[in-house]
Chains A and B, each alone.
Chain A
Amino acid sequence: MIHVADLGFSYSNRKPLFNAYNWKAGEGETWSIIGPSGCGKTTLLYLLAGLLHPTEGDIRIAGHRISRPRPKTGLVLQDHGLLPWATIGNNVLLGFKIRQLYGHDARHTPDDAQLDTQTIEETVTYWLDRLGLSRLKDAYPSTASIGQRQRAAIARTLALNPDLLLLDEPFSSLDAPTRADLQDLLIQLHGEASGKRMTRVLVTHDINEAVYMGSRILVLGKRVNVSPVVFENPGAGRESYRQMPQFSRQCEALLALLGQNS
């Protein structure tokens, strides 16, 4: 699904974050990316999203080299990114509005996307309902709680039926119960038909979250990243995992690995 080959990246006038970096992620896998701040984890996510461009090497997603945001990639950021002047319902509708604006032009809209109003309405209603936002359809984001806004951002992204979901510290501004709630929700969604083949990459600085959410964990370091450090975590993906003794052992092991890398 994701194929990073000989990636080199540096922001202008700064030391490189990646050099000849190779990394692969298979279809349907759930990845966490963890590392200290400034290690380039958000940068890597933006590169995958097509919002930044590699200085060297290339990134292929589903076989295609990306140079611009890809319509089948979904992105959820820490600060939900909802339009403050649009209702929750219209925010969830936004992706479809954008697709309707461009039509099937092969750049902004996937070929298999349905753009008739009825299908769109049904999809939006489904996702609002699935994320428990039906009651807030006509409310503005400013009147919703932070957790609800983040749910709306997730609904907006998933409504477009992505095959790759990228999340950049999506839960770090939430309180603990809401965070746990949304983590569980993502895990449930991955088990559902609509999320079955979806590849998920979640960037976090929280060890517990990384272990709970990612069956494979990519560890980035403070120095230039040259070869990928992958932490295997096959237990993840079940809601019961948090209570298992294996979970806390994995957290400790990851902590130790992070210590070596920074």
Chain B
Amino acid sequence: MIPKSSIISAFTGMGMCLVLWQGLAAAVHRTILPSPIQVIPVFAGSLFGELGCHFLASTGRVLSAMAIAVLTAVPIGLGLGQMRNIDRFFSPLIAIIYPIPKIVFLPVIYVMFGITDISKVLLIAIIIFFQILVVVRDEAAALPKELILSVRSLGAGRRALFRYVYLPASMPAVLTALRISVGTSVAVLFIAEQSLTAYGLGYYIFVETYQVLRYPEMYAGIMAMGLLGLILYAAIAGLENRVSRHLSRDEYR
């Protein structure tokens, strides 16, 4: 699924990270920068305890946000890509909202949806929504007319076109958009979790450890958050590889 070389490179990267960290820790030599030798045992020890709970809470939020974004943005994007008139009407609106950093809407969302998990999930979902919406729309609009006509001539109506043409055509782009959004999503999650919750890595890092000066634990939290981003990124890249097999040209037998 994922090429061996990229797995090796991932581990090499992690190793280099640890070496750099160790070097910096030794050079700075202060409690605000504990060495990985100090942090890793804390990380390993609490991963199946307190930290693990926060990790799961954060993972749940990101995954729900992704699911909501995909399930809404894909159909709307496919619709806009097929119906040029409606697309022309909405595209100025989308073009304006798309680049706005959605985190600024956090207070608005809290006011509208209350201080619940829904608000945090929704904020991240909105960010991913626009990323996916734009690529799916463009992908659907770029499908050759002849391809659609050919498939229609095989008897396909809207349902079959969606299932056999539009959906598989937009899958690689959806996954690419999702993968690119992982960084922003985790970053926004971190900020959103810093207040008005009692669970999540953002809360753990900011409230439970940073504010009470538990530095090794804070770094364990940072590691967990980094790991969350990394796992999501790698998992999506793996899926992307699977659905984009036709794009590699070495399949000839």
Chain A residues packing against B (C-beta within 8 Å): 46, 49, 51, 69, 71, 73-86, 94-95, 97-99, 101-102, 107-109, 135-136, 138-143, 153, 156-157, 160, 166
Binds A, one of B41-49, B81-89, B118-126, B243-251: B243-251
Tell whether A139 pairs with B251 under 8 Å between CB atoms, given A86-B246, A101-B163, A108-B155. Answer: yes
Partner of B160, one of A101, A140, A166: A101
A86-B246, A98-B164, A101-B160 given; A51·B152 CB < 8 A: yes
List, in ascending order, chain B residues with CB within 8 A of A80's CB: 150
> Which among B154, B169, B246, B253 is the interface contact of A98 at CB below 8 angstroms?
B154
A109 touches B152 (CB 8 A): no
Q: How far is the CB of B171 from chain A (nearest CB, A)?
A: 8
Contact with B155, one of A86, A98, A153 (Cβ below 8 angstroms): A98
- A-B contacts at CB below 8 angstroms, number: 98
Assembly CA distance A102 to B161 (angstroms): 12
A98-B154, A135-B253, A139-B251 in contact; A79/B144 too (CB < 8 A)?
Answer: yes
Q: Pick the contact of B146 from A78, A95, A99, A107 — CB < 8 Å?
A: A78
Residues of chain A within 8 A (CB-CB) of B249 are 142-143
Determine whether B9 belongs to the interface, using a CB cutoff of 8 Å to chain A: no
CB distance from B236 to the nearest CB of A (A): 18
Q: Does B149 contact A (CB under 8 A)?
A: yes
Q: Measured between alpha carbons, how far is A172 from B121 in the docked complex, in Å?
A: 54
9 chain-A/chain-B pairs, Cβ below 8 angstroms? A73-B153, A78-B146, A81-B147, A83-B147, A83-B151, A94-B154, A101-B159, A138-B251, A160-B154
Evaluate contact between A81 and B149: CB separation under 8 angstroms: yes
CB distance from B178 to the nearest CB of A (A): 18
In the complex, what residues of A have CB within 8 A of residue B147's CB? 79, 81-83
Chain B 131-151 against A: per-residue CB contact (8 Å), 1 yes, 0 no?
000000000000010110111
Q: A83-B168, A85-B168, A94-B164 are in contact. Are A138 and B155 (CB under 8 A)?
A: no
**A49 and B153 within 8 A (CB):** yes
Q: Which of B146, B152, B154, B168 has the most CB of A within 10 A?
A: B154
**Residue count of chain B within 8 Å CB distance of chain A:** 29
Q: A75-B149, A94-B151 are in contact. Are A140 and B246 (CB under 8 A)?
A: yes
Task: Give every chain A residue within 8 A of B252 (Cβ-Cβ).
Answer: 139, 143
The chain B residues found within 8 Å of chain A, CB to CB, are 144, 146-147, 149-157, 159-160, 163-165, 168-169, 171-172, 243, 245-247, 249, 251-253
In the complex, the chain A residue whose C-beta lies closest to that of B149 is A51
Secondary structure dominating the interface of B: helix
Give min CB distance, A261 to chain B, whole Å: 28
Contact indicator B160/A108 (Cβ below 8 Å):
yes
Are B149 and A95 in contact, CB atoms less than 8 angstroms apart? no
Q: Which residues of B contact A108 (CB under 8 A)?
A: 155-157, 160
Q: Are B153 and A97 in contact (CB under 8 A)?
A: no
* A102 with B157: CB separation less than 8 A: yes
CB-based contact B154/A86 at 8 Å: no
In whole Å, how far is A46's beta carbon from the nearest beta carbon of chain B?
8
A71-B155, A85-B169 known; A138-B253 Cβ under 8 A: yes
Give every chain A residue within 8 A of B168 (Cβ-Cβ): 83, 85-86
Residue among A78, A101, A160 with the highest chain B CB neighbour number at 10 A: A101
B146 with A79: CB separation less than 8 A: yes
Residue on A with the closest CB to B159? A101
| Neighbouring B residues of A79 by C-beta, 8 Å | 144, 146-147
- CB-CB nearest 5 A-B residue pairs: A81-B150, A75-B153, A95-B154, A140-B246, A143-B252
